[in-house]
């Protein structure tokens, strides 16, 4: 496993306590952090919701299965799913190799932008990780 200093934690995303990240925009992109994928190990399956589904902040939107465990994915903000990364069905390992790019999971139309502002920035997330 990586040391905290080795983690890829981009400054242009916001982080949730459950280790999901959100990149703000007209369509917010959501995935799991480098820390989360590192803790899980080799990801072998990703289950994502259908486009058009709406979720409240904190609601489970999918699961990630690794060789170690199955983990739930939680919405860092409330909103409607507008896009799903279909590549992950055939290549779930993209979450390990590129968690903030090709391993991003869903696009969401955020219902309440104040929820985005309540997420942690890079410095706060590092502190939460003990860094």
10 pLDDT band, cuts 50/70/90, is: very high
Q: What's the CATH number for 4-128? A: 2.40.50.100
| Domain segments of the chain as ranges | 4-128
pLDDT > 90 fraction of the chain, expressed in percent and rounded: 98
Give residues with Cβ within 8 angstroms of 37, minimum separation 6: 43, 95, 96, 99, 103
Helix (H, G, I), strand (E, B) or coil at 36: helix
The one-character DSSP state at 99 is T
> b/e map of 75-108 (b: 16 or more CB within 10 Å)?
bbbbbebeebbeebeeebbbbbeebbeebbbbbb
pLDDT value of position 102:
98
Question: Is 90 exceeded by the pLDDT of residue 71?
Answer: yes
Question: Is 90 exceeded by the pLDDT of residue 131?
Answer: no
pLDDT tens track for 32-55: 999 999 999 999 999 999 999 999
To the question of pTM greater than 0.85 for the whole model, the response is yes
């Amino acid at each position: 496993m990586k040391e905290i200093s080795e983690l890829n934690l981009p400054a242009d995303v916001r982080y949730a306590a459950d280790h999901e990240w959100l990149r703000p925009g007209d369509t917010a992109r959501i995935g799991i952090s480098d820390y989360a994928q590192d803790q899980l190990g080799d990801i072998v399956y990703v289950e994502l919701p259908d486009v058009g589904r709406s979720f409240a902040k904190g609601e489970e939107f999918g699961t990630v299965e690794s060789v170690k465990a199955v983990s739930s994915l939680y919405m860092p903000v409330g909103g409607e799913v507008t896009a799903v990364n279909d590549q992950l069905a055939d290549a779930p390992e993209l979450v390990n190799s590129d968690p903030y790019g090709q391993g991003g999971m869903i696009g969401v139309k955020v219902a309440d932008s104040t929820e985005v502002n309540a997420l942690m920035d890079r410095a706060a997330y590092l502190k939460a990780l003990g860094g």
